[in-house]
Amino acid sequence: HIHLVLSIPPKYSVSMVIGYLKGKSAIHIHRKAEGVKKGFIGRHFWSRGYCASTIGLDEEMIRAYVRDQEHLDKQEELDFTQNP
């Protein structure tokens, strides 16, 4: 689960940029974590979907949300393990 704040030039579609990021990062992760040098066809790392918002929300509010997400996720995990 990853949160990003991106600015995409109008000449690129959101789906193309997300596809590129997911593809290149999956290859990099397979190379680093699994030592795989080639043969990525048929391998899957990311889920198919994504969520994007282009409605012009307050950018600083979104950046703060993304910055704080790791802390919030850890707190939720801690709460769950203490109160299953």
pLDDT in tens, 9-34: 889 998 899 889 888 888 888 777 77
Choosing from 12, 20, 50, 65, which is the catalytic residue? 65
Q: What is the pLDDT of residue 12?
A: 93
CA 2 to chain centroid, in Å, comes to 3
Could you give the 3-state DSSP secondary structure of residue 27? helix
Catalytic-residue membership of 12: no
Q: What is the pLDDT of residue 17?
A: 92
CA 66 to chain centroid, in Å, comes to 11
Domain ranges in the chain?
A: 1-51, 53-83
For every residue of 4-23, DSSP letters joined together read ------TTS-HHHHHHHHHH
30 and 45 Cβ atoms separated by less than 8 Å:
yes
